[in-house]
Every structure is written in C-alpha cells, then in structure tokens.
Amino acid sequence: MMRVANHAAGFTVNGSAPPTRLSQARAVSSIPKGDLTPEHQTGTEDKWEYPSEDMYFKAMKRKGWDPKAQQMKTIVAIHNTVNEQSWQEVLKWESFHTANEPVKLKKFMGKPTEYSPKARLMNALGWSVLPFDRHDWVVDRDGKEVRYVIDFYSGQPEPGRPLSVYLDVRPALDSVEGVVDRLRWQFHEKIMPLLPFRGAFFGPDADAKTPTEAKDDQGGHSKVTPKTN
C-alpha cells in the first residue's frame, strides 16, 4: 500500500479559472528501490517516491504540454495506480525465478516514441493501436540487471465507466533468459490447459497460478482501472 512522504507543502496555479493549489506531497510506492538514487528521489526512502502534483505539472510544462491544474490530482492518481500494477506484473514474471533477495527496480526509462517491435507488429497486422507510452524497467535480481518492456494502451471509453489502461508487461528479448521466460509463458498459457491429465504429469501444481493469472482477454494485456478519489 502506498503511503505519503513527510515532506509536503503546496503550490498555487493562477489563471482564468479560480486558483488551484497543487500539492507537493509525494506518495511512497510499494516498489523497492535499488542502490542508485536519481536526483528526483529524496534518498530518504527505500522505495520509489512518486512525483507530487506540483512536480508532475511542471514536468508536463517542460515537455511542451498544456496541463490543467484542476486535473493534476486525477492524473497523478492514474500514474501511481498504473505503476503499481506494472510492478505486480513484473513480480509475476519474476516468480519464474528464485532470488536470495527481493527484486528491486533499479532504474526506468520512458520511451513514448520508441515503439517496441511487438507493438509495431500488432499495429501493422491491424490487431491493436499503437501504445500511448512505453517504459523500460531494469530490475535488480541478486545483482543481475533484467530488463522489462511495458507498453501502455488506452482502454476504450465507456459512458458512465472510469478510465481504464491496458498494460503489456514482458521480459525484453535481449537475453536467452528473456526468450526462455516468454516461451515458458506461452507453454503455461496456451499448451498446458489443453493437456489431458496434466496433473498426473506435472504434479498438483499444474493448475497453479501463472504470470498471466490476472490478465484478461484483451490481447494478453493487464487491465487497470485507477481509483481517483
């Protein structure tokens, strides 16, 4: 569960609308942080800290966007919820491996215009739109760097229903291990359910939850419906 860091203040944005006070409170995520502490982190927490409304607003301004101060509370809530679910998806993949220490998120890179080969292929075949964002997350597994690719897709808007985001989280194909993990996923998801008497061959754990247990039928994407209140 996320908690709020103890360094909170406020920031007021004035415009044609009534002044909006942007919070400087930063929620502390559930995602363990590696030894590297980037400049945007305080260094006082052992978990990653999410940006405040103030920080997010200023970052969007720097990138040339036109953020609305009144929307920042919702935007930050969506950002935090999506990242929490992304980490849960990473942990499901990591369950394929044993580690002496809990895995940590060492670093991450935003690549919104660098579409992954899978996203390009899905789009070229007409199976999916292009994702609105992409992240590469590097996990520290007992001192070894493991890269994950995350594609973020917007859910179809439905009247009267909250915003939804679809995640496609998987190991990068930059190592033999990543390829093997993808093949194991396919075996668990596509082949094992078709095997008769699979419990006799694979033991009582044959029906155990796999890294896809929380994924729905939307092309293998994990669906997130952020709570903004």
**Segment 165-194, tens digit of pLDDT:** 899 999 999 999 999 999 998 887 777 777
Contact in structure between 187 and 198 (CB atoms under 8 Å)? no
pLDDT of residue 220: 42
Q: What is the pLDDT of residues 46-86, one digit of tens each?
A: 899 999 999 999 988 888 888 888 889 988 998 999 999 99
Does residue 29 fall inside a structural domain?
A: yes
Supply 58's token pair: 């200023």
| CA proximity to 116, closest of 149, 68, 87 | 149
Any domain includes 194: yes
Q: Which of 194 and 15 is assigned the larger pLDDT?
A: 194
Q: How far is CA 212 from the centre of its chain?
A: 15
Residue 229 lies in a domain: no
Whole-angstrom distance, CA of residue 101 vs CA of residue 208: 23
Over residues 206-210, the mean pLDDT reads 47
Using alpha carbons only, give the angle 108, 184, 138 rounded to the nearest 5 degrees: 10
Examine residue 175 and state whether it is found in any structural domain, yes or no. yes
Angle between helices 72-94 and 53-62 (to 10 degrees): 90
62-66, 105-109, 128-132, 197-201: which range is least confident on average?
Answer: 197-201
Is the pLDDT assigned to residue 209 strictly greater than 80? no
Examine residue 1 and state whether it is found in any structural domain, yes or no.
no
Number of structural domains (the chain) is: 1
Domain housing 112: 6-224
Q: What does the pLDDT average to over 26-33?
A: 92
Task: With respect to residue 58, please indicate whether it lies within any of the assigned structural domains.
Answer: yes
